[in-house]
């Protein structure tokens, strides 16, 4: 009996050139999903113009996705939205790691003890992607829907993740990247960011002081796995009038402790 051939992730004649290995119609459908995920509903006309496709082509894409439950239309507004099946696939991504599950009760406790929204984020293609949030009941609050992307250098979680890299690794990561300025407080040079990393390592938490959005502050700390690798960041974010300068140290202590609890749950002995 011949041994069963080992299944591979790509065909034998695989060629890595994107033009030869991508399916145009599938790529277009995924582009539609990505655009809908960034907006709170878009019309057929709006999508067609945004993606430079004819309304007929766009309608066929939407109809196909709708049949599979990936998008749905609001009859009242005629706006298209991401559907339940897309959420199901996103949930499968979260199940790849137990960090989201283990962080949830800690995030809830963090929200209750600080009174502010708690967030969970990971690095994704050089940016922070938020994968979880426990919102404060306060009317004015930070809000980052799962899947929201944020630049590393202007994010509490992003800076917490970057702080775990040595100077040379950080420099290589930032090579060719633009440190975009969002406010007058945004860090826009490598030297300033390196200095910030030293401060984060000393305090154990990162502080975003209106560097992405005026009027909002964030305090974050890195989460480590069994091998001491940084796999996520946990944070508390809220308006400056509640997250005053006097509260930052106390919030930082709580966020740092929350990160240690999650890290310990993932098997990181150094967090004991």
DSSP secondary structure code for residue 4 in this structure = P
In the chain, residues under CATH classification 3.30.450.40 are 93-175+186-271
Q: Collapse the DSSP code of 128 into the 3-class scheme (helix H, G, I; strand E, B; otherwise coil) and give the result.
A: strand
pTM of the model: 0.70
Q: Is the pLDDT of residue 1 over 90?
A: no
Q: How confident is the model over 57-79, as a mean pLDDT?
A: 93
Alpha-carbon distance of 206 to 184, in angstroms, equals: 18
- The CATH number of the structural domain formed by 93-175+186-271 is 3.30.450.40
Per the CB < 8 A criterion, the answer to whether 217 and 243 are in contact is yes
- For domain 18-84, the question of CATH label 1.10.10.10 is answered with yes
Confidence of residue 14 (pLDDT cuts 50, 70, 90): very low
Quick: pLDDT tens for 214-267.
Answer: 999 999 999 998 889 999 999 999 999 999 999 999 999 999 999 999 999 888
Phi, psi of 268 (to 5 degrees): -80, 105
Instruction: Specify the pLDDT at position 95.
Output: 63
Q: Is the pLDDT of residue 90 over 80?
A: no
DSSP secondary structure code for residue 242 in this structure = T
Confidence of residue 105 (pLDDT cuts 50, 70, 90): very high
Helix%, strand%, coil% for the chain, nearest 5: 45, 20, 35
Alpha-carbon distance of 194 to 171, in angstroms, equals: 9
């Amino acid at each position: 009996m011949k041994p069963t051939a080992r299944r591979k992730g790509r065909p034998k004649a695989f060629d890595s050139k994107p033009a030869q290995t991508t399916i145009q119609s599938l790529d277009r459908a995924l582009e539609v999903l990505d655009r809908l995920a960034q907006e709170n509903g878009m019309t057929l006309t709006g999508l067609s113009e945004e993606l430079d496709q004819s309304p007929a082509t766009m309608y066929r894409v939407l109809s196909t996705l709708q049949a599979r439950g990936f998008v749905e239309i609001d009859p009242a507004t005629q706006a298209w939205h991401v559907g339940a099946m897309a959420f199901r696939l996103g949930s499968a991504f979260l199940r790849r790691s137990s960090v989201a599950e283990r962080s949830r009760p800690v995030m809830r406790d963090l929200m209750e003890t600080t009174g502010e929204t708690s967030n969970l984020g990971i690095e994704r293609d050089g940016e922070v992607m938020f994968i979880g949030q426990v919102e404060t009941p306060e009317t004015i609050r930070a809000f980052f829907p799962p899947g929201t992307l944020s630049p590393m250098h202007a994010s509490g979680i992003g800076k917490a993740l970057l702080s775990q890299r040595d100077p040379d690794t950080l420099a290589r990561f930032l090579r060719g990247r633009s440190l975009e300025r969002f406010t007058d407080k945004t860090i826009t040079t490598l030297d300033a960011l390196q200095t910030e990393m030293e401060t984060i390592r000393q305090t154990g938490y990162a502080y975003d002081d209106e560097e992405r959005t005026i009027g909002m502050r964030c305090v974050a700390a890195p989460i480590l796995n069994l091998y001491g690798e940084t796999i996520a960041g946990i944070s508390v974010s809220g308006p400056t009038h509640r997250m005053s300068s006097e509260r930052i140290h106390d919030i930082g202590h709580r966020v740092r402790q929350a990160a240690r609890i999650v890290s310990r749950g993932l098997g990181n002995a150094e967090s004991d």
